[in-house]
Amino acid sequence: MVALGIGLALAGCAGGGPSALDPAGTGAARVANLWWLLFWISMAVFAEVMVLLTWALVFRRKQRVRVRHGQPLRFVIVAGAGIPLVILVVIYAVGLRDLAALGDGPGPEAPTIEVTGHKWWWEVRVQGVDGATANELHIPVGEKVRVRLRTADVLHSFWVPQLMPKTDLIAGEVRETWLHAERAGSYRGQCAEYCGTQHAHMAFLVVAEPRHDFDAWLARLGEPAKQPQTDAQRRGQQTFVQSSCAGCHAVRGTGANGRIGPDLSDVGSRWSIGAGAVPNDGGHLGGWIANSQTVKPGNYMPPQQVAAGQLPDLIAYLQSLK
């Protein structure tokens, strides 16, 4: 059992997935430090109990001493109540300190990113910018950024293990958290509250980058999507705008302004298709458009009637949107 546990733990580390014990920002660092404090206290208590147990086993017959009355009572009070009380008070105090630090969000001048959870993808907007993207949000390195959270349907939870602990998205409420990254990089986030069939494929990416790259991302978010450059892309755009796609998806600057599915204005540059379901390349994109139900069963994009001849054009068009 123990060997299995250690094996699983090591496998988890080797997998290189996002770990709350590998913090990259002040929020997650608080939680990681608290975790290590609890871990070492538990280890110390465990070691102490093992020593006492061994002592009791070794000496149980040899010493037939009668225990005098006062001694065990004092031992029980000190070791059984006094020491635990001190430990718990210390943990409580440290916990309160960290809770206060986590509540210390960004100032009013910080950017506000508005994230809405949908079954099973994340809608991303920025306050004051007229545009949307999905399953990916950018933040400037070294700055705290406010994140406002809503849900379009059921309970979800916004979790970026390396940056910040979880915040639940509750129907009818606007929740708030913040993100801060000390070093540039891409940090994987995940819905952390079971929300139905494809809960596991409700991932997102937080890209922490230098301020000028972040500003460029903001600017792009407000601009119309790229215009098609080749004939294939132009045909693809026409198919997209004139078919069912436009009823559910928006592409800024075109007639497509559906709000049921993710905004596709920059779909060509996304890290994945289907909120972490498959990589974003031509093959997977084609498979998704032809029948996303084989890729992410149960998701809310029904199988589409796309003529085989039109598929390459659609792929060319969507891939050009970066």
What span, in angstroms and rounded, lies between the C-alpha atoms of 261 and 134? 9
- Residue 186's binding partner among Cu ion, ligand HEC, none (Cβ under 5 to 8 angstroms by kind) is none
| Residues in 177-206 at the binding interface with ligand HEC, rule: CB under 6 A | 198
Task: Return phi, psi of residue 255, to 5°.
Answer: -75, -10
- Residue 237's binding partner among Cu ion, ligand HEC, none (Cβ under 5 to 8 angstroms by kind) is none
Q: Is 261 in the site for ligand HEC (CB under 6 A)?
A: yes
Q: Is 260 in the site for ligand HEC (CB under 6 A)?
A: yes
Quickly tell me which residue has 């990113």 as its tokens.
113
Minimal distance in Å, beta carbon 272 to ligand HEC?
7
DSSP character at residue 63: -
Q: Is 225 in the site for ligand HEC (CB under 6 A)?
A: no
Please tell me the total number of residues recorded for the chain in this structure: 322
What span, in angstroms and rounded, lies between the C-alpha atoms of 254 and 233? 14
Taking every pair of Cα atoms in the chain, the longest distance, rounded to a whole number of angstroms, is 97
| Residues in 44-103 at the binding interface with ligand HEC, rule: CB under 6 A | none
Choose the stretch contacting ligand HEC; rule: CB under 6 A; options: 41-49, 138-146, 147-155, 246-254: 246-254
What span, in angstroms and rounded, lies between the C-alpha atoms of 280 and 115? 22
DSSP character at residue 321: -
Quickly tell me which residue has 């001190």 as its tokens.
86
- Residue 273's binding partner among ligand HEC, Cu ion, none (Cβ under 5 to 8 angstroms by kind) is ligand HEC
Q: Is 304 in the site for ligand HEC (CB under 6 A)?
A: yes
Pick the binder of ligand HEC from 156, 220, 235, 249 (CB under 6 A).
249
Pick the binder of ligand HEC from 229, 242, 244, 257 (CB under 6 A).
244
- Residue 261's binding partner among ligand HEC, Cu ion, none (Cβ under 5 to 8 angstroms by kind) is ligand HEC
Q: Is 169 in the site for Cu ion (CB under 5 A)?
A: no
Minimal distance in Å, beta carbon 199 to Cu ion?
4
Residue 161 token pair: 């293990």
Which 3 state secondary structure label does DSSP give 128?
coil
DSSP character at residue 189: E
Contact by Cβ (8 Å): 263, 131: yes
Q: Find how far residue 268's CA is from the centre of its chain.
A: 21
Axis crossing angle, helix 311-320 with helix 231-242, rounded to the nearest 10: 100
Pick the binder of Cu ion from 28, 191, 251, 295 (CB under 5 A).
191
Footprint of ligand HEC on this chain (CB under 6 A)? Answer: 120-121, 134-135, 198, 240, 243-245, 247-249, 260-262, 264, 267, 270, 273-275, 288-289, 296, 299-302, 304, 306, 314, 318
